[in-house]
Structure 1
Amino acid sequence: MTILIPSYEPDERLLALIHNLKEEAGDAPILIVDDGSGEDYRGIFKSAEQAGCTVLTHASNRGKGSALKTGFDYVRQHGDADDVVCADSDGQHLPEDIFRISDAVRKNRNHIVLGSRQFTGKVPLRSRFGNSATRMVYALATGKPIQDTQTGLRGYSSDMLDWLCEVPGDRFEYEMNMLLEAPKAGYDFVEVPIETVYLEDNKSSHFRPLTDSARIYFPFLKFMTSSGFSAVLDFVLLFLLQWLTSNLLVSVMGARLVSSIFNFSMNRRFVFTEGQGIAIKKSLPRYFSLVIVIMISNYALLYLFHESIGIPLFVAKLMTEMFLFAFSYMVQRKFVY
């Protein structure tokens, strides 16, 4: 097993973690990736090398995802088919938890092992809110709940290294992309409860709330944008056809047909770009099978809300789209593209 620690501008807590890991299991290789910290931090990394760690250095800051992929690539070339456990450098992952993840990797091949924090006790508000938000979005998008989507303590079996080097993303979004890509690649998850440790209100974190959150949510934002344009088109056509025909069924079907063709083109080109390798003759029938299901559901819900309950058509349409949004994203990611 190799312990991989991506590190940017670390302090003495990195050396304390290395010391504790060496005391627990002195023979475990420790690989540290200095993600462009600069000369001011050279002494800390030199001390890590003197303690027996291998240190790889990026000339400039490239992001946590890039640092992880540098480490994964090194292990697959030099690690003699080692399993890998990734931990953060700020002292928030305890050595005993790191080794518990390692044991779980050995017992659960072809699984991503997640060190799952329970968020009990005093937790910084931004950390509690951030994880709650990503947990909810991930569950809505995939139908698979995960307790801790933002954990940096993760374990991987050696036969996953090639795939790990191919997952898109260079910064904090890489770890979310990994969770999104794993089911399609055939990997499931195992969650191992770990201690929730925040030091000095998590001041050492290099996570940028606005910029990095936008990167993490970018796959969902692209889908929301595409769906938003399609929904506007669908809205306009629905009311236009309803005005022309006074027939709700014809209006729903006509509006959905045109907007779905637009949506398929947008999603294939800009949202689920990894699906461009799937031939249109495969993805198109899958997509329009989904369209038929959604169209039936759309009509049924609109009829229920508008015709049966008497909710105004505009409000009924909004409610219907909210119900079907998460379902559509999940099916398109898993089965269409």
Structure 2
Amino acid sequence: MVILIPSYEPDRRLLTLLTHLSGQQIVIVDDGSSQRYAHWFAAAERLGCTVIHHRINRGKGKALRTGFEYIARHFPGEPVVCADGDGQHTPADITKVADALDDGDPNMVLGVREFSGKVPLRSRIGNAATRSLFRAATGLAISDTQTGLRAYPARMLSWLCTIDGDRFDYELILLVRASQQGMRVRQVPIKTVYEDGNASSHFRPVRDSWLIYRPLLGFIGSSLLGFGIDCAMLALLLAGTGVLTLSVIGARLVSATVNYTVNRRYVFAAQAPLAVRQTLPGYAALAVVVLIGNLVLMWTLTPLTGAAVAKIVTEVSLLTVSYVVQSTRVFAHRHRAQHEDTAPAPDDSDAVQKLGVR
């Protein structure tokens, strides 16, 4: 097992954790800390840790990928446990999460906090909001979507290196991709530890919250765009033809084309647009099913509520079904294809590797 710790401008708590983890293989990624913090990393090296230095701050997601790439090359076949060095993760919980990899062969293990006791209000509210939004968007119930204590078997390292997101959004995107591919995610309860109200956290509430919520909101935004186009086209076609069925089909064809293009190129593409030949047949089949459902609901509701209200109720009803099918079936092909056995070589242009004695 290798313990991976991304670190930016650490303090004494990093060394406290390393002391308690004595004898473990530990890789630390210094994510562009200034020279004022060099003594902490030098002390870590004296304790036998491997320290990798980013020349500039690249974000937690990039730091984790740098660590995964290094471990895949220098510790082949070893599982990885990711932990924070700010005192939130205890040595006992790190061991507990690592041991859970041997139970049922999961793709990843999450150390989920119970958020009991003295927890900063922003952390309690932020996690509750993200947890609710994540479940609504993916159907996957994760009690702590923002936990930094996670364990991965060695076979997952190459996949982890393909996931986009350089900052705090990276860890949430991992969960979104895992839900799309039906991966086995195990949750293990851990202690909730916040020292000094979590004052040392480098989390930026506005900017980093946007990065975290962005992948979940992308699909909703795409659907709203399609909804707006659908409503506009429906109104135009109804005014021009007066035929409900023809108007619904025409509006759906136009909005589905826009929705497919946006989802393929942006919402479900981690780094590049997905191939049309892989995704269009599935999307077309889904569009037919959704169209039938749309027609049935519109026929049923329009005489009762009018076309405008019927359209809103219909679209909201079909939104969740459409997302689940698109994320788990239609646009999941590319991510499965990227799960190879060999991780890409690390980007040495922004990381200088220093090896401790171990």
TM-score (norm 2): 0.86
Map 1:211-230 → 2, pairs under 5 A: 211-230=207-226
> Which residue matches 1:306?
302
Q: 1:269: how far off?
A: 2.2
CA contact (8 A) 1:116 1:147 kept: yes
Map 1:50-69 → 2, pairs under 5 A: 50-69=46-65
CA contact (8 A) 2:163 2:270 kept: no
1:13-65 deviation line (CA, Å, top 9, x unaligned): 1111112222xxxx211111111111010111111111222111111100001
User: Closer, same or farther in 2 for the Cα pair 1:186/1:227, shift >3 Å?
Assistant: closer
> Which residue matches 2:227?
231
> Which residue matches 1:248?
244
CA contact (8 A) 2:264 2:274 kept: no
Q: Give runs of ≥4 in structure 1 deviating > 6 Å.
A: none
> Which residue matches 2:341?
none
> Is 1:329 aligned with 2:323?
yes
Greater Cα offset, 274-283 or 322-331: 274-283
Separation in structure 2 between the aligned mates of residue 235 and residue 80 of structure 1, nearest angstrom: 54
CA contact (8 A) 1:75 1:81 kept: no
Map 1:84-99 → 2, pairs under 5 A: 84-99=80-95
Separation in structure 2 between the aligned mates of residue 150 and residue 231 of structure 1, nearest angstrom: 31
Separation in structure 1 between the aligned mates of residue 52 and residue 282 of structure 2, nearest angstrom: 45
> Which residue matches 1:200?
196
> Which residue matches 2:262?
266
Q: Structure 1 regions of 5+ residues with no counterpart?
A: none
Work out which structure has the larger RCO, using CA pairs closer than 8 Å and 6 or more positions apart in sequence. Answer: 2
> Is 1:117 aligned with 2:126?
no
Q: Secondary structure at the match of 1:109?
A: coil
> Is 1:17 aligned with 2:17?
yes
Q: 1:312: how far off?
A: 4.2
1:276-329 deviation line (CA, Å, top 9, x unaligned): 67543442221121112222222333344432xx33432332233223223222
> Is 1:6 aligned with 2:2?
no
User: What amino acid is aligned across from residue 307 of structure 2 in structure 1?
Assistant: L
CA contact (8 A) 2:140 2:179 kept: no
Separation in structure 2 between the aligned mates of residue 98 and residue 221 of structure 1, nearest angstrom: 32
Q: Which has the higher helix share?
A: 1
User: What amino acid is aligned across from residue 266 of structure 1 in structure 2?
Assistant: V
Alpha-carbon RMSD: 2.0
> Which residue matches 2:137?
141
Q: Secondary structure at the match of 1:260?
A: helix
> Which residue matches 2:37?
41
Separation in structure 2 between the aligned mates of residue 74 and residue 283 of structure 1, nearest angstrom: 33
> Which residue matches 2:348?
none
Separation in structure 1 between the aligned mates of residue 271 and residue 56 of structure 2, nearest angstrom: 32
CA contact (8 A) 1:4 1:84 kept: yes
> Which residue matches 2:336?
none
Give the count of matched residue pairs. Answer: 331
1:164-223 deviation line (CA, Å, top 9, x unaligned): 111111111110111112245563100001111111111111111111122122223333
CA contact (8 A) 1:268 1:275 kept: no
Q: 1:333: how far off?
A: 1.7
Alignment match of 1:319 (pick from 313, 316, 319): 313
Separation in structure 1 between the aligned mates of residue 173 and residue 327 of structure 2, nearest angstrom: 12
> Which residue matches 1:130?
126
Separation in structure 2 between the aligned mates of residue 274 and residue 33 of structure 1, nearest angstrom: 24
CA contact (8 A) 2:265 2:273 kept: no
Separation in structure 2 between the aligned mates of residue 60 and residue 275 of structure 1, nearest angstrom: 22
User: What amino acid is aligned across from residue 12 of structure 2 in structure 1?
Assistant: E
Separation in structure 1 between the aligned mates of residue 301 and residue 97 of structure 2, nearest angstrom: 49
Identity %: 49
CA contact (8 A) 1:101 1:192 kept: yes
1:135-174 deviation line (CA, Å, top 9, x unaligned): 1222122221111111000000111111111111111111
Separation in structure 2 between the aligned mates of residue 111 and residue 243 of structure 1, nearest angstrom: 53
CA contact (8 A) 2:266 2:273 kept: no
Separation in structure 2 between the aligned mates of residue 305 and residue 202 of structure 1, nearest angstrom: 51
Q: Secondary structure at the match of 1:273?
A: coil
> Is 1:164 aligned with 2:169?
no
Q: Structure 2 regions of 5+ residues with no counterpart?
A: 332-358
TM-score (norm 1): 0.92
